Amino acid sequence: HAEDAWWRSAVVYQVYPRSFADSDGDGVGDLDGLTGRLDHLSGLGVDVLWLSPVNPSPQADNGYDISDYQDIDPVFGDLAAFDRLVGAVHERGMKLVMDLVVNHTSDEHPWFQESRDPASPKRDWYWWRPPREGREPNNWGSFFSGAAWELDAASDAYYLHLFSPKQPDLNWENPRMRRAVYAMMRWWLDRGVDGFRMDVVNLISKDPALPDGEVHEQGPYGDGSPYFVCGPRIHDYLQEMHREVIARYPGRLLTVGEMPGVTVEQARLFTDPARAELDMVFQFEHVGLDHGRGKFDPRPLRLTDLKDSLGRWQSGLADVGWNSLYWNNHDQPRAVSRFGDDGPSHRTRSATMLATVLHLHRGTPYVYQGEELGMANAPLRTVEDFRDIESLNHYTEALRAGAQPEDVLPGLRAMGRDNARTPMQWDASPHAGFTTGTPWIPVNPDHTEVNAEAALADPGSVYHHYRRLIALRHQEPAVVHGDFTMLLPDDERIYAFTRRHGRTVLLVVGNFTGDTASAVMPAGWDGAELVMSNGPSVPARPGRLVLAPWEARVHRRN
Ligand code: TEU
């Protein structure tokens, strides 16, 4: 029964292994470091650990470029360390979900190396095409700047890479390639892994004609997305994967497909249990609302846009399918800096308000490492401070097109992925307890104040608020199963909704501003039981909902 699926009442915690905990002093986080910190996760009460890629990789995109699917990169440990991690996770009653990166491999993967030979049986495992009039086979641009095609002089042919040239796209049209992927997935599941977060899995089916995309004003590249976002055979592939892999482990796994550009209508198909594809997807609508001309051109978020978007996802997946809920991951700037206020006087309040509003939606919440501490964006200044391939390529391309550093850097500072990738802040010591060596990316200097040790000791911390939210989900069926009704859709300051399950109704309200905000109190809620809040309230007034700056509250009626 879909309603009984275990992952509906679960909370997932994402670990970005490079930046979580370093056990051997090389400045890069590793598996033994993570295993040594599992009490932090069980203390928080999360059910699932999602681990970003740990397979052997040249690390061109921090592990999202895999050169061997069935081993562990030495920088993170080895298979024995992985088995120890799985054992320790299971001992604590948690599950472990791996990242599955099969839209592309590394160009150093043996499959790709073989496929460079036109006579190889693996030639067709990737998208090789001859030049068109001496140039790229079509006009698509890559997500990481530049063309989506790279010329391989060895055979005078181009290969497709939607991300960097170090990440050639696999050709899912090829059934042998698909079978190899399914066998690899079963190998991990048989080893004890409890599911997969599937990287850009809605991009695996391409229109084999690879038509030119429309050129928008930014140019010079065309937008190929109509030909690869939720492409022609995407549902066939996911159903086949379900039959060949997922269905063999009934009731045990969690699957979540990362899906840039997915619509709610498509998500309903992907997550309809009757269709046997995926449990849930990561959609990108709400994290694109503050983008202008591209992600590096941020605009202030309008709260009414956020409510409109998340509200549509709530109602679109109300009867069929399931939502995943997130503000943060390793690709997004820190939510407290982006949608809240990371200054000293409002950080805790705004971080806990954001958490409350998100976790009380219907769906499975995801917590990204450090989010539970209210970790903020990194103090990135010059281009030397950046590590991420997406930011660095964007910078180079913009300067080549004539921009000045000061035109480009503000966008990178606000939206760059390195904001999420500074080391986890364990304590106030010099490298925040992350490493005894030199961290691969500097620790945020605010770790002297914002760190796990301090947070655990302070009952009013962001950490303890997350812990209470997770406990509430586990105790209150209305959080998991209740329906969702948006209130005050036109209010630019207050986010408000109800969740109804049987005779229980929850009212959730959050002030998205640093000022006191008020609205008409929804009927019947004056004086209702307060289940949770994130700090002192302003005095109640009959008929008025009045919220202190960044205040959030959860009320209950039975
Ligand atoms: O991300 C896919 C994706 O669409 C974006 O979030 C991407 O990171 C970029 O910011 C687009 O502007 C996934 C992974 O989460 C990301 O870390 C990888 O770099 C990418 O796929 C390629 O594997």
In whole angstroms, give the CA distance from residue 165 to residue 142: 9
- If you count them, how many residues does the chain have? 558
CA distances from residue 419 to 66, 391, 422 in whole angstroms, order as listed: 23, 11, 6
- Strand, coil or helix: 99: strand
pLDDT averaged over every residue in the chain: 97
User: What type of residue sits at position 208?
Assistant: P
Average pLDDT over residues 238-255: 98
Which pLDDT value is given to residue 109? 99
Residue 222: pLDDT band (50, 70, 90) is: very high
Residue 108: pLDDT band (50, 70, 90) is: very high
In whole angstroms, give the CA distance from residue 174 to residue 161: 17
- In this predicted structure, the answer to whether residue 259 has a pLDDT above a threshold of 90 is yes
- In this predicted structure, the answer to whether residue 514 has a pLDDT above a threshold of 80 is yes
The sign of the torsion formed by the CA atoms of 243, 248, 250, 254 equals negative
Ligand 1 atom with minimal separation from the 417 CA: 10
Alpha helices in 160-233 (DSSP H): 175-190, 225-228
Which pLDDT value is given to residue 383? 97
From the CB of 284, is ligand 1 less than 6 Å away? Answer: no
Ligand 1 center to residue 390 CA distance, Å?
9
Which pLDDT value is given to residue 165? 98
Which pLDDT value is given to residue 44? 98
From the CB of 169, is ligand 1 less than 6 Å away? Answer: no
- Where are the domains positioned within the chain? 2-108+169-374+418-468, 480-557
Ligand 1 center to residue 415 CA distance, Å?
13
- List phi, psi (to 5°) of 2: -55, -40
- In this predicted structure, the answer to whether residue 219 has a pLDDT above a threshold of 90 is no
Q: Which of 199, 341, 390, 418 is catalytic?
A: 199
Ligand 1 atom with minimal separation from the 330 CA: 17
- In this predicted structure, the answer to whether residue 3 has a pLDDT above a threshold of 90 is no
From the CB of 82, is ligand 1 less than 6 Å away? Answer: no
Ligand 1 atom with minimal separation from the 295 CA: 12
From the CB of 331, is ligand 1 less than 6 Å away? Answer: yes
Contact between 324 and 256 (Cβ < 8 Å): yes
Q: Which of 47, 258, 279, 372 is catalytic?
A: 258
Which pLDDT value is given to residue 179? 98
**3-state DSSP: the chain helix, strand, coil percent, rounded to 5?**
35, 20, 50
From atom 8 of ligand 1, which residue's Cα is the shortest distance away? 331
Ligand 1 center to residue 149 CA distance, Å?
18
- CATH fold for domain 2-108+169-374+418-468: TIM Barrel (3.20.20)
From the CB of 73, is ligand 1 less than 6 Å away? Answer: no
Contact between 150 and 129 (Cβ < 8 Å): no
From atom 11 of ligand 1, which residue's Cα is the shortest distance away? 143
Cross-strand bridge partners of residue 505: 500, 557
Ligand 1 atom with minimal separation from the 104 CA: 23
Report pLDDT digits (tens) over 39-73: 999 999 999 999 999 999 999 999 999 999 999 99
Average pLDDT over residues 445-465: 98
Alpha helices in 272-384 (DSSP H): 303-316, 335-338, 347-359
Which pLDDT value is given to residue 503? 97
From atom 6 of ligand 1, which residue's Cα is the shortest distance away? 331
Assess whether 199 carries a catalytic annotation. Answer: yes
Where residue 510 falls (left for φ over 0; alpha for ψ -120 to 50; beta otherwise) is beta
Residue 217: pLDDT band (50, 70, 90) is: confident
Average pLDDT over residues 82-95: 98
From the CB of 261, is ligand 1 less than 6 Å away? Answer: no
Ligand 1 center to residue 459 CA distance, Å?
36
- In this predicted structure, the answer to whether residue 481 has a pLDDT above a threshold of 90 is yes
Report pLDDT digits (tens) over 517-535: 999 999 999 989 999 999 8
Contact between 262 and 270 (Cβ < 8 Å): yes
From the CB of 484, is ligand 1 less than 6 Å away? Answer: no
Where residue 432 falls (left for φ over 0; alpha for ψ -120 to 50; beta otherwise) is left
CA distances from residue 52 to 1, 73, 85, 93, 331 in whole angstroms, order as listed: 30, 12, 14, 20, 11
From atom 17 of ligand 1, which residue's Cα is the shortest distance away? 331
Please tell me the pTM assigned to this model: 0.98
Which pLDDT value is given to residue 2? 75
What are 514's two structure tokens?
A: 């640093």
Report pLDDT digits (tens) over 155-174: 999 999 999 999 999 999 99
Ligand 1 center to residue 291 CA distance, Å?
16
- In this predicted structure, the answer to whether residue 293 has a pLDDT above a threshold of 80 is yes
What are 488's two structure tokens?
A: 């005050």
Report pLDDT digits (tens) over 410-442: 999 999 999 999 999 999 999 999 999 999 999
Considering the domain 480-557 in this protein, what is its CATH number? 2.60.40.1180
Alpha helices in 431-515 (DSSP H): 452-457, 462-475, 477-481
From the CB of 20, is ligand 1 less than 6 Å away? Answer: no
The sign of the torsion formed by the CA atoms of 423, 427, 429, 433 equals negative
Q: ipTM score of the complex? A: 0.97
Average pLDDT over residues 468-488: 98
194's CB contacts (< 8 A; 6+ apart) are 48, 95, 96, 97, 252, 253, 254
From the CB of 163, is ligand 1 less than 6 Å away? Answer: yes
Residue 308: pLDDT band (50, 70, 90) is: very high
From the CB of 65, is ligand 1 less than 6 Å away? Answer: no
In whole angstroms, give the CA distance from residue 400 to residue 398: 5
In whole angstroms, give the CA distance from residue 243 to residue 343: 50
The DSSP call for residue 376 is: -
What are 423's two structure tokens?
A: 């080391």
Ligand 1 center to residue 331 CA distance, Å?
6
Long-range contacts of range 38-42, CB-CB < 8 Å, 24 or more positions apart? 38/88, 38/89, 38/92, 38/94, 40/452, 41/13, 41/92, 41/94, 42/92, 42/93, 42/94
Contact between 517 and 494 (Cβ < 8 Å): yes
